[in-house]
């Protein structure tokens, strides 16, 4: 693989980044670390794109084409429990999703391409803040990411625990889901626990709503259209021997298409209002879509398959869609794109769930991941082409 000689250096970078996790848009130390390395490789570096994002530009020849490669700068508000000698030094913050590895793969590709790259055109190495809470990509786009540097295509990799290390998977169409947060407020008449007939117990009403919401996926959606509706919180103002008069249900809904998301919202509002009316209480539904589904375009997906086969025989070009969400969706809405999954390993310590306090990116993926980026750039920006 082309970046094999950079393996030791990439492990050093990854472990250094793992020790300085930062959250949301407040990623100044991480951004500076990345930007300084890119400048050291000789790239044209733009700092503070979308507040704290970094974009490195590498140009070869005079080709008009430009390909964008994205990694994430941010971590999660989790206290690390790995016990590694390179564990987080920032209390209550941790790279529990592998963004340290994603950054490192992109840095390795940037260094290799700056020294040995055989391509004609421009590569934009995009390091975005706040992927986890879903504001980073939109913030960079609003700050002119694609206006100042028009890109023909944009790509992103995410590691996947439980898939063999270095294996690649993608698909045309929806690959990750939308995420919508909902809050249902119920107002009835509280009272004495011994006299329930004198009021309307919102726990009973809320429980019926919780159960009925499960019929959205099983009975309201086309079985071919995946969705998830999860109630994650049920809070009331009741006390010992006091029946509550107010209840709040909160939760999370996922969908692979905007149409499925809209159908989920409509069904939820219908169910809530119907049950509330039946019991003589009032209820409101707040439904906010935080992440849109990530939709892969067909041509970039084919490009991914071709490039990945120069790295490994294990390439799945029609993998099942995933119901987690990804901020890359905003970039995929703006530019033809492909989101790619790369195996983090099947061994117990590498198959820990994303966002767990003992998760760790598998360093064995650094060379395959960075080599894939190199193959993709040289394939999509060929020297013999006027692309």
Strand partners, 158: 341
Q: What is the mean pLDDT of residues 354-375?
A: 98
Question: What's the confidence (pLDDT) of residue 226?
Answer: 85
Measured CA to CA in angstroms, residue 292 lies from 50, 246, 301, 317 at distances of 19, 31, 19, 22
- The pLDDT tens digits for 307-348 are 999 999 999 999 999 999 999 999 999 999 999 999 999 998
Question: What's the confidence (pLDDT) of residue 196?
Answer: 65
- Check if the beta carbon of residue 53 is closer than 8 Å to that of residue 329: no
Measured CA to CA in angstroms, residue 187 lies from 235, 263, 274, 282 at distances of 12, 25, 14, 5
Same domain, 149 and 24: yes
Same domain, 284 and 300: no
**Within a domain: 225:** yes
- The pLDDT tens digits for 65-88 are 999 999 999 999 999 999 999 999
Same domain, 278 and 214: yes
**Within a domain: 385:** no
pLDDT at 192 > cutoff 80: no
Which CATH number is 19's domain given? Answer: 3.40.630.10
Question: What's the confidence (pLDDT) of residue 224?
Answer: 79
Predicted model pTM: 0.93
Please give the mean pLDDT across all residues of the chain.
95
Share of the chain above pLDDT 90, in %: 91
Q: Three-state SS for 86?
A: coil
Phi, psi of 156 (to 5 degrees): -150, 150
Range of the domain at 230: 178-291
Q: Three-state SS for 147?
A: helix
Same domain, 236 and 142: no
Separation CA 20–CA 74 (nearest Å): 10
pLDDT at 362 > cutoff 60: yes
Same domain, 152 and 210: no
**Residue 386's pLDDT band (boundaries 50, 70, 90)?**
very low
Separation CA 131–CA 46 (nearest Å): 19
Question: What's the confidence (pLDDT) of residue 301?
Answer: 98
Same domain, 11 and 150: yes
The residue out of 268, 291, 314 marking a domain boundary is 291
- Check if the beta carbon of residue 360 is closer than 8 Å to that of residue 326: no
Count of CB atoms situated within 10 Å of the CB of 296: 23
Separation CA 112–CA 217 (nearest Å): 47
CB contact set of 201 (below 8 Å; sequence gap of 6+): 188, 190, 243, 244
DSSP secondary structure of 243-283: E-SEEEEEEEEEESSHHHHHHHHHHHHHHHHHHHHHHT-EE
Same domain, 152 and 280: no
294 membership: H or E segment, kind and range: strand 294-296
Question: What's the confidence (pLDDT) of residue 191?
Answer: 61
């Amino acid at each position: 693989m082309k970046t094999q000689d950079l393996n030791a250096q990439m492990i050093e970078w990854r472990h250094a980044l793992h020790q300085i996790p930062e959250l949301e848009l407040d990623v100044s130390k991480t951004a500076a670390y990345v930007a300084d390395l890119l400048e050291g490789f000789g790239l044209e570096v733009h700092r503070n794109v979308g507040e704290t994002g970094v974009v490195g530009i590498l140009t070869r020849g005079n080709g008009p084409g430009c390909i964008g490669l994205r990694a994430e700068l941010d971590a999660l508000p989790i206290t690390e429990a790995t016990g590694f000698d390179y564990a987080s030094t920032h209390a209550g913050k941790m790279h529990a999703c592998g963004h340290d590895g994603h950054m490192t793969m992109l840095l390795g590709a940037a260094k290799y391409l700056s020294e040995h790259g055989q391509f004609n055109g421009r590569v934009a190495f995009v390091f975005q803040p706040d992927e986890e809470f879903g504001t980073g990509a939109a913030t960079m786009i609003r700050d002119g990411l694609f206006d100042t540097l028009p890109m023909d295509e944009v790509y992103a990799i995410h590691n996947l625990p439980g898939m063999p290390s270095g294996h690649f998977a993608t698909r045309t169409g929806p690959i990750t889901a939308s995420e919508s947060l909902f809050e249902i407020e119920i107002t009835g008449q509280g009272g004495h626990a011994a006299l329930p007939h004198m009021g309307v117990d919102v726990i009973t009403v809320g429980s019926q709503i919780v159960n009925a919401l499960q019929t959205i996926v099983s009975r309201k959606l086309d079985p071919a259209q995946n969705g998830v509706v999860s109630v994650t919180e049920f809070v009331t103002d009741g006390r010992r021997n006091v029946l509550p008069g107010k209840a709040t249900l909160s939760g999370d809904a996922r969908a692979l298409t905007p149409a499925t998301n809209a159908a989920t919202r409509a069904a939820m509002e219908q169910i809530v209002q119907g049950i509330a009316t039946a019991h003589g209480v009032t209820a409101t539904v707040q439904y906010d879509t935080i992440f849109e589904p990530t939709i892969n375009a067909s041509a970039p997906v084919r490009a991914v398959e071709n490039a990945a086969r120069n790295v490994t025989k294990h390439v799945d070009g029609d993998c099942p869609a995933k119901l987690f969400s990804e901020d890359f969706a905003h970039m995929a809405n703006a530019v033809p794109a492909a989101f790619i999954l790369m195996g983090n390993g099947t061994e117990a310590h590498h198959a820990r769930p994303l966002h767990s306090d003992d998760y760790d990116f598998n360093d064995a993926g650094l060379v395959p991941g960075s080599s894939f980026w190199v193959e993709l750039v040289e394939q999509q920006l060929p020297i013999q082409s006027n692309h």
